[in-house]
Structures are given as structure tokens and as C-alpha cells.
Amino acid sequence: MGATATLKSLPFCSSQEPLSFIFLTKSKTLSLDPSFSKTSLTPRSRRFRLAVRASSASPTALNDPPNPTLSNYDHQLRVKILSESLPYIQKFRGKTIVVKYGGAAMKSAELKASVVRDLVLLSCVGLRPVLVHGGGPEINVLLNQLNIPSQFRDGLRVTDARTMEVVSMVLVGKVNKDLVSRINFAGATAVGLSGMDGRLLTARPSPNAAQLGFVGEVARVDPTVLQTLVDNGSIPVIASVAADEFGQPYNINADTVAGEVAAALGAEKLILLTDVAGILRNREDPGSLVKEIDIKGVKKMIEEGKVGGGMIPKVNCCIRSLAQGVTTASIIDGRVEHSLLHEIMTDEGAGTMITG
């Protein structure tokens, strides 16, 4: 937005209720209370009118009393902050944004609410978000309750037949439906899917299947069912489980699924929520964040050993999606509230953006 404002809280958005922003500046908290109301709604389009209640001298059209604690300067500043989001709304309106949700943002109730609110707001202003999720912590809890040991090789869960049953139950039956319910409650319309629904994803065994068991890769994506949902204004929520052509289910890395789905949909942006600030020039220095880099530059960082560990598969996922037509891919800090809005609606962003 060109502003240094930070989104701090964002209540639920629906066609009946106002949507409120609270921006934090360096000096004070400023409250914005724009109201979104539908002017038309068809299966293929949603138009929302953004009415900004900014008068400090008289009651608004909704008969709300003026806020006596805000000066004229405060009113002007909060309207200015909101108005600066216009170029970003115009740029991304009608564009598909694929978000991979996981890590700390799944463990914290506050961060979970933040992600849901961000998705609903983005949908309200005309973007077309698609959410892909994993659920490692939830899987670990149920495995422990069932006395099934968890094993990992090279960061991937070893998945035998019993573990695969638990993965499917947790991702498809629990985590997916919880997210769908939260998004629906927040005022949008979410539809839960796994890779098996509508032939969305076809899996194939991992090259290391002998060691990893039913850990798979994405062989094909058929975005037909997704395209219909997105065109109707719904938010697809995808669990990273898919079956091969014989019907055998596989556990697939959610980053990989998000990247392949983004490519199949021709998405404008792929965003991976992580537990780190982004790509660092010096892994020991949190202040060395790389704000923007191209494919050539990030490959060089991998060669030089500056990108390593669990960040390498995330970066490779981004590179692959960019090579297949996604415009930009970002690795952002999911530990920060409203990091999605920071990434999409501000110049500063919330992590590292990789370009083609």
C-alpha cells in the first residue's frame, strides 16, 4: 500500500455485518470501520460496495455517533490508509491466489483466526483465494493416542497402511472440516475437498517409496472442480491427500500440492505460510531477510549453501510453480498475524517473494 500500517485485527465479514479494520501505526491505534454490502451477486461475479464511514462532525448514514476520541487528523489518516489499498485491490481483483496453510499458524488459535479473516477479506474485495493445508501436529496427536509411532526420513513422514488411515482421517475428516466451518462462519462460502474429490489430484508413489511407504507425489491435476467453485465465488479448501489410478491413497506434501494446484489454475500468486521470516542471506541472522529474488538468484543461494534444510523443498516448489506459469511465489512468516494481507496489500510484504 505504500503505507507502513500494520493490520492488527479484522472481525468477521458477511453480507449483513460491517467489516472492521484496526491499523497500528508507530504512534497510536486507528480504527477503520468500512462496510461491505453486495450490490449484485451472480454465479460468476461478486461486486461489493465499500462504504467508508469517516465523518467526525456528524452521525453517519447508519446513525452511528461520531467517535469523540479521534481527531480530524486521525480520521484523515485512517481513510488515507484504506484508500492506499485501492491499487492492490485493483491489481489482484479477479486473480487466483493459492495459499498453503500450515506450521505455527495451525497451532495458535489467534493465528488460525487471522488466516481465516484474511481469506474472507480477500474474497470480499474480489480476489479468488484457494487454501491448501496439511496437518502434521494434529496427525501426531492421534497417532500418539493410538500408540502408533511417528517416523520421519528427510523431513517426510514414513506412512505405512495404519498411518495412512490416520492421515486421511485427520486431514480430510477433521482439519479440513474445521477450516471450512470457520470460513463459513466468518461470512464466506468454503467447500472442503481432498485430492480424490472430482479427480482433482492423481498421485504416484514417491521415488523413495520403499523407505517412505504411502508417501506420494502429484502426477496430474484436473482443476475442473476447482474452477467451478472459484468462478462461483467459493473458497476451496484442499486436504493434501490423493489416490493413484488404482485408488490407493497417498500422503502428499502440502507445499507440493499447493504449487501444482497454483500452476494448474494459472494463479497470480502462490503463498506458502511457514515458521520462518522467509529466505535469509545468513541463516543465523533474522535481519538478513531477502525481500525479493528471482529464480536465478535463489538457485545460486542454494548452490552456495545459503538456503538449506527444510527451506530447499519449499523453494523448489516455488521454482516449479513459476516455471509452469504462476506469476510470483512467496514464502512468508505465518507466525505474524494477518501476514497474508501484509504480503498482498503492502509494498513491504511479509516474507520473500520469488519471481520468474
Identified catalytic residue from 102, 134, 135, 136: 136
Is position 314 annotated as part of the catalytic site? yes
Is position 103 annotated as part of the catalytic site? yes
- Find, among 187, 200, 185, the residue nearest to 239 by Cα: 200
Task: Give CA–CA dist 279/288, Å, rounded.
Answer: 8
Is position 26 annotated as part of the catalytic site? no
Contact at 8 Å (CB) between 98 and 265? yes
In residues, how long is the chain?
356
Widest CA span of the chain, in angstroms? Answer: 72
- Find, among 51, 13, 42, the residue nearest to 232 by Cα: 42
Is position 100 annotated as part of the catalytic site? yes
Is position 308 annotated as part of the catalytic site? no
Q: Strand order of the sheet with strand 29-32?
A: 6-9, 21-24, 29-32
Contact at 8 Å (CB) between 352 and 286? no
Eight-state DSSP code of residue 80:
H
Cα dihedral sign, 185-188-194-199? positive
Identified catalytic residue from 33, 74, 255, 333: 255
* All three cell numbers of 263: 500452476
Task: Give CA–CA dist 26/7, Å, rounded.
Answer: 12
Identified catalytic residue from 100, 118, 187, 192: 100
Contact at 8 Å (CB) between 127 and 182? no
Task: Give CA–CA dist 342/351, Å, rounded.
Answer: 9
Can you tell me whether residue 336 is helix, strand or coil? coil
Identified catalytic residue from 118, 134, 269, 314: 314
Identified catalytic residue from 33, 74, 102, 103: 103
Active site residues: 100, 103, 136, 255, 314
